[in-house]
Amino acid sequence: MKKLAILTAVCFLLSLLAVSMVMAQAKPAPAKKAATKEPVKIGAIYDFAGACYMYSEAGLKGIKIALDEINAKGGFLGRKVDLVVRDTEAKVDVAVREIKDLILREKVDFIIGPCSSGTGLAMQVVHTEYKTIRISAIANTEGQTVDKFSPYFFQVVPNTYMEATAATRYLHKKVPTAKKFCTINPDYEFGRREAAAFEEEIKRLVPDAEILYQAWPKLGEKDFTAFITAMMAKKPDAIHSSLFGGDLVAFTKQAAPYEFFKTPFIALYDFPVLLALGPDAPEGTFGFGRGCFFMDPNPKMMEFVDKFRKVTGAYPDGWAVQNYDAVYVLKAAIEKAKTTETEAVIKALEGITFDSLRGKITIRALDHMATVPIYQGTIAKDPNYPFKIWKDIVRVPGEQVIRPEASVREIWKKTGVVR
């Protein structure tokens, strides 16, 4: 009996020792402490092809400058920030593949991008499934924040509704007697949305307005001649367009010999397009944009201009500005949340007011759309620069053109969004 008691006691002690060893192995504290010092990873996914190439390149420069500044000051909450860059090739299937790889293999904490609204909507399904926050600083379809709303998506670029509404008001102010219109927009998500918003707003401003002809060139169109002659044959009072980048450069050069620009015309004549056109930029033609350096020369913007020029030797366009802002609004939210944990950062982003390069903006809690400004102007020479910029510049605060919350909720009822 005595031997049995001793054996029982030994077995009990051994079992206690085994349990304590398992508990010691299960303690997460040491690993957790080490993990908190690991770098924060941001995935930048952009469309380095076609009309989006120049914008994607500029956006990446803005991200890198912001991260260099932030890392020099200790990163996010004392953690270094690493950047992983991916190219969608402006293809939906590639975009889906690459964003999955960023999330599953690279294990990025946050994503910024892309340029194309088409690839952006495809990505949204994926990063929402994997509960990863994405911020858009270029792709701007309203679908991202309204009918395809995701709690894991935020937008710091004016959406198609905001942008087209502001541009339409500028066009109407410049040509108040215009009643007959043509439109030319790229035939994909972005262009379709811009055209719809233009039509809605012009008919509000001019109840008897007529849309005589709508042109839908494919993205990357090489020959715009048929569209140009068709619009001119209609003899419109004014023409609205959301052509951009390389497509707008090609269109402008092809349209000029036809004296096309004698008709009031507005399109996305931002800094990269003006620079590419050089002396061929049509003076007196109207442009809209999202925050190139000359559109909003406030002190903070001009300080960024100096930084950007020192690093790149060039002036910053709106694409660099918006991506720089995207990084800093994320930093502000992480510092507010005191963590990089996804759900906490979402709560911090909702309703946050941020001092951006374009002034103070607020991310609306309802749909995660930022109240970013929109700019319009008239192409003109400026003695301060060796390239054409704008005159008669108007800065429209986002609050003036953002879709009303009641309208957003109404669309959500129709599309089945639960918020």
What single-letter amino acid sits at 134?
R
pLDDT in tens, 389-405: 999 999 999 999 999 99
Taking the domains of the chain in order of start, what are their residue ranges?
Answer: 40-159+296-374, 161-294
Q: Where are the alpha helices (DSSP H) in 75-234?
A: 92-104, 117-129, 160-174, 189-205, 225-234
Q: Is pLDDT above 60 for 161?
A: yes
pLDDT in tens, 81-92: 999 999 999 999
pLDDT in tens, 41-77: 999 999 998 888 989 999 999 999 999 999 999 999 9
CA-only gyration radius of the chain, Å = 26
Q: Which tops the pLDDT comparison, 32 or 204?
A: 204
pLDDT at 23: 36
DSSP single-letter state for residue 369: B
Q: Is pLDDT above 90 for 27?
A: no
**pLDDT class of 274 with cuts at 50, 70, 90:** very high
- Before 264, cis peptide (omega within 30)? no
Neighbouring CB atoms inside 10 A of 254's CB total 16
pLDDT in tens, 97-117: 999 999 999 999 999 999 999
pLDDT at 51: 81
Q: Are the beta carbons of 372 and 361 closer than 8 angstroms?
A: yes
Q: Percentage of the chain with pLDDT > 70?
A: 91
Residue from 160, 115, 136 nearest 374 by CA: 160
Q: Is pLDDT above 80 for 36?
A: no
* Chain-centroid distance, C-alpha 286: 23
Helix, strand, coil percent values for the chain (each to nearest 5): 50, 20, 30
Q: Are the beta carbons of 42 and 82 closer than 8 angstroms?
A: yes
> What is the distance between the alpha carbons of residues 58 and 48, in angstroms, rounded to a whole number?
10
pLDDT in tens, 332-373: 999 999 999 999 999 999 999 999 999 999 999 999 999 999
> What is the distance between the alpha carbons of residues 240 and 167, in angstroms, rounded to a whole number?
9
Q: Are the beta carbons of 295 and 304 closer than 8 angstroms?
A: no
Distances (CA, A) of 100 to 52, 94, 109, 135, 365: 21, 10, 13, 16, 27
Sign of CA dihedral 226, 229, 235, 240: positive
pLDDT at 22: 35
Neighbouring CB atoms inside 10 A of 406's CB total 7
> What is the distance between the alpha carbons of residues 142 and 140, in angstroms, rounded to a whole number?
6
**CATH superfamily of this structure's domain 161-294:** Response regulator (3.40.50.2300)
**pLDDT class of 37 with cuts at 50, 70, 90:** confident
pLDDT at 288: 98
pLDDT at 295: 98
Cα dihedral: 243, 214, 401, 133 (round 10): -60
Averaged confidence pLDDT in the chain: 92
DSSP single-letter state for residue 203: H
pLDDT at 50: 83
Contacts of 171-175 spanning 24+ positions with Cβ under 8 A: 171/238, 171/240, 171/264, 171/266, 171/286, 172/202, 172/205, 172/206, 174/264, 174/286, 174/378, 175/237, 175/238, 175/264
Question: Fold identical between 40-159+296-374 and 161-294?
Answer: yes
**CATH superfamily of this structure's domain 40-159+296-374:** Response regulator (3.40.50.2300)
What predicted TM-score, i.e. pTM, was given to this entire model?
Answer: 0.89
Sign of CA dihedral 398, 404, 407, 411: positive
pLDDT at 117: 94
> Residue 370 forms beta bridges with which residues?
363
> What is the distance between the alpha carbons of residues 151 and 146, in angstroms, rounded to a whole number?
11
Q: Is pLDDT above 50 for 14?
A: no
Contacts of 152 (CB under 8 A, 6+ apart): 127, 128, 131, 132, 133, 134, 342, 346
Helix and strand numbers, DSSP H then E, in the chain = 14, 14
Distances (CA, A) of 396 to 127, 215, 241, 304, 353: 32, 27, 19, 21, 18
Helix (H, G, I), strand (E, B) or coil at 252: helix
